[in-house]
Amino acid sequence: MSNNTRIFHTQRNFTLKHSQALRAIAEGALMWVELGVSVRNATLPESIAARNAQAKASEPIAQAEIPGLTFQQPTTASVSMHERYALIQQANQLCEA
């Protein structure tokens, strides 16, 4: 199905662009009658249900971390950090002198 097709609005008897129909469907204002062919206005309960589903899908996860799992920095990373810190100290001593 091409995205440049015109979609027929069955209740208002006019056509609209496919992208406009998809945007209205995402907002919960329209519902498909025939997928990719025609749309109709969403009833109030349908619109509320669509918006609630959209809000639930965009909610963040309750916990971003897995309980009981802790991050332990690899030893190579901590060693390289200490080496960099020593180089920074030497550079600061040169700048002060």
Alpha-carbon span 95 to 12, nearest angstrom: 76
Question: Which region holds residue 43: left if phi is over 0, alpha if psi is between -120 and 50, else beta?
Answer: beta
* 20, 30 contact by CB (below 8 A): no
Q: What is the pLDDT of residue 67?
A: 74
Where exactly are the structural domains of the chain? 1-59
Radius of gyration of the chain (CA): 29
* 88/84 Cα distance (integer angstroms): 6
Question: In this predicted model, which residue has the larger pLDDT, 94 or 33?
Answer: 33
The pLDDT value recorded for residue 62 is: 67
Which tens digits make up the pLDDT trace of 28-84?
899 999 998 999 999 999 999 988 988 888 777 666 667 777 777 777 766 777 788
Verdict on whether the full-model pTM lies above 0.75: no
Pairing of strands 6-9, 38-41: parallel
